[in-house]
Structure 1
């Protein structure tokens, strides 16, 4: 299968190389990152270590994976202060966030290699890792094969398999199964994720259920306070935080807020789109509904009805200031986003019915009274009820926090297995 993969790669490159080069040249983000992802100048961008020091290569796909793995990165640095930690990230937004939140704990942050044999070989030769840690997803056959041949242990942390991913893994079973088998172990978030991996034919002894790294966020997250303006705003207004929202549901949220503010004039909406480039479009839609709206990147005003967070790495701090949190990707058929961060901030958590990617956490929060499932029809009434009852908000917020707190201890479990591989 790996031979077929590389032959296919070669055919595509030979046939389409003029178009590929033209495409890269036309897109600035690819023009600046592609040479590095092919291995050019890699010696200048990766720090070298001293003899005898362990080297940990940690790979995250994008913003979500960078956020998830941050508690583990901090623990690795605290427990292995002399280790060399190299972090690769696939997307430009993920790399930007990593440079903001992870740079104090790692030695280098670089774009990940394109999965072409020469590029991957250059990266592996330069980094010389003692272990490769992959976060959640982003499996590549050439990288995995070279690591296996060089006898470098590979592990997956915070692994999860969404319904869409499961369908893809089954369809391309012959392609993915050899990659999964190259891993020393696969640490899955939930028992359901473990069962999905077992159904793909992976040996049970390779699959662990160590939990979601985000459960330990509060214990490890470096503080990065927001400007005083937002802290003051939270004291004077009632903030509804809509996090990781998507096109389609943002219209629903804005329309709902227009109704909410007629009954609760002290309410303000802080909306953080999953794709921060959507900020201008959300601002336009808010103004079309006669809502005053400003973006975080602009001059902001206390009089704004809607504040749009078009920045990276700040959502968790906005959750700390909120009275209500709504978790995006759940009013539309996307699969939802992780509700752990708002739950840890002691505020009521709301989400729609489309939470298939976080089924177990959703169920835990609903059963313990820390969350409510909403629809387009009930969003307004439930928000109004919560805004008008401080007691109910506190009860739900405390229940949400307790629910997540009971799941903590994920980092020590991961550190145990990582140390075993490094010491072995």
Structure 2
């Protein structure tokens, strides 16, 4: 009954959802209007495994697992789904060869309407549904079970705050958890929260986070070195995955920093493409010289605007210090491990609840520090002036990454058990 009322409410809201995605978001980013039929389950993507990655962050974190699945056996064909155009573009970029060969198909995950999900699941011809983190859509999971797919939730995390939200709709939450065959989570604390909400204990596996299994390639290292050289090896710091409300604080901090370190360069990488031009306008208004990464040439400007897709992990390697965005505002932060994998010292605002499975270890071992808008400039100045201190900090962050690796191997075993 709870699923029925959920579906009814969602159906009634669909005109507003359509207006928001196709109208408002589609006007800013035409990618939201392309392949719109797929959002109602009209997809031609087929494969053995449906792997759902909500957006760019999940795609990047899951890419090593996808590669491992493709290497592990030549039999797997994957349907990789996402919710956003940028997520889809990232899949197309990372797996263009596999898409061309037919081993990977990509499409949008449909709206969570019963008929749309049933149509999608049946057309996919899949045997397994794997959901990354906590994209727990009731009708998707239910239709997958009705079609006798094995249902996995991998890399799952559940904060105390999120658990409270699920508890408010307890009947629907229990129905969702009933339709899951295996739930693989980051930590025992996450697992206990799922059990408290109604997950059967025998369905729980603690595998750790696949985000720790990030590997920096030789090509990324070489490209990062080239970027660093193009910036004249100046003191460089990067602000990655910034959200509205942060760029003005970060640029102001950079202006203060350049009063004592006049050659310092800031690489600023907005989280979403629709913010590229807005940050460019802000830089112009603040009378800060900048170049665009997409235009290639940097002639000593104070800021490099990273207005490209798929390069953030590499760009972290070009910096001496990395600030991780979404954390000076209440967005919950973003993944610091991409910077740590390069051995780069990490700074973050205090709003990191989306990565509360990562930051405690980094902070405890000295691989990252919390800052606020008042202390950011001083922390930057201290680290950029002290090469030994920042290298020591970066090394400790890299050690945390290495100590927590292995989740991909443990997750692969779940797919073998499901096949």
The answer to whether the superposition gives a TM-score over 0.5 is yes
Residue equivalent to 1:277: 274
- Match status 1:87 vs 2:90: no
Structure-2 change in CA distance of 1:324 and 1:2 (3 Å):
same
C-alpha deviation, 1:9, in angstroms: 4.8
**5+ long unaligned stretches in structure 2:** none
Q: Can you list the C-alpha shifts for 1:82-128, whole angstroms capped at 9, x where unaligned?
A: 21111111111111111111334442111112223332222222211
Residue equivalent to 2:155: 158
Residue equivalent to 2:71: 78
C-alpha deviation, 1:34, in angstroms: 1.8
SS in 2 for 1:218: coil
SS in 2 for 1:321: coil
SS in 1 for 2:356: helix
More displaced, 401-410 or 356-365? 356-365
Q: 2:262 aligns with which of 260, 265, 272?
A: 265
Alignment map for 1:199-348 (pairs within 5 Å): 199-218=196-215, 223=220, 226=223, 230-234=227-231, 236-298=233-295, 300-348=297-345
C-alpha deviation, 1:81, in angstroms: 1.9
Q: 2:392 aligns with which of 390, 395, 401?
A: 395
Structure-2 change in CA distance of 1:85 and 1:360 (3 Å):
closer
Residue equivalent to 1:361: 358
Distance (Å, rounded) in 2 between the aligned partners of 1:266 and 1:181: 58
**5+ long unaligned stretches in structure 1:** 49-54
C-alpha deviation, 1:210, in angstroms: 1.0
- Match status 1:180 vs 2:199: no
Distance (Å, rounded) in 1 between the aligned partners of 2:276 and 2:186: 31
Q: 2:51 aligns with which of 54, 58, 67?
A: 58
Distance (Å, rounded) in 2 between the aligned partners of 1:214 and 1:221: 19
Is the CA contact 1:95–1:110 (under 8 Å) kept in the aligned structure 2?
Answer: yes
Residue equivalent to 2:95: 102
C-alpha deviation, 1:331, in angstroms: 1.6
SS in 1 for 2:358: helix
SS in 2 for 1:69: helix
More displaced, 226-235 or 19-28? 19-28
Alignment map for 1:190-205 (pairs within 5 Å): 190-205=187-202
Distance (Å, rounded) in 2 between the aligned partners of 1:288 and 1:82: 55
C-alpha deviation, 1:335, in angstroms: 1.7
Is the CA contact 1:71–1:221 (under 8 Å) kept in the aligned structure 2?
Answer: no
- Match status 1:3 vs 2:38: no
Is the CA contact 1:68–1:213 (under 8 Å) kept in the aligned structure 2?
Answer: yes
C-alpha deviation, 1:415, in angstroms: 0.9
Q: Can you list the C-alpha shifts for 1:274-295, whole angstroms capped at 9, x where unaligned?
A: 1221122222222333311233
SS in 1 for 2:205: strand
C-alpha deviation, 1:299, in angstroms: 5.1
SS in 1 for 2:136: coil
Q: 2:131 aligns with which of 131, 134, 147?
A: 134
Structure-2 change in CA distance of 1:162 and 1:394 (3 Å):
same
C-alpha deviation, 1:163, in angstroms: 5.3
More displaced, 406-415 or 121-130? 121-130
Tell me how many residue pairs correspond in the alignment. 410
Structure-2 change in CA distance of 1:12 and 1:400 (3 Å):
closer
Distance (Å, rounded) in 1 between the aligned partners of 2:191 and 2:217: 26
TM-score normalised by L of structure 2: 0.90
Structure-2 change in CA distance of 1:354 and 1:299 (3 Å):
same
Distance (Å, rounded) in 2 between the aligned partners of 1:135 and 1:23: 22
Distance (Å, rounded) in 2 between the aligned partners of 1:308 and 1:174: 47
Is the CA contact 2:231–2:300 (under 8 Å) kept in the aligned structure 1?
Answer: no
Is the CA contact 2:11–2:113 (under 8 Å) kept in the aligned structure 1?
Answer: no
SS in 2 for 1:157: strand
Distance (Å, rounded) in 1 between the aligned partners of 2:251 and 2:208: 34
More displaced, 167-176 or 333-342? 167-176
Q: 2:114 aligns with which of 95, 114, 117?
A: 117
C-alpha deviation, 1:229, in angstroms: 5.8
Is the CA contact 1:70–1:221 (under 8 Å) kept in the aligned structure 2?
Answer: no
Q: Can you list the C-alpha shifts for 1:162-194, whole angstroms capped at 9, x where unaligned?
A: 455334312222222211221111111233322
Distance (Å, rounded) in 2 between the aligned partners of 1:355 and 1:233: 32
Residue equivalent to 2:37: 35
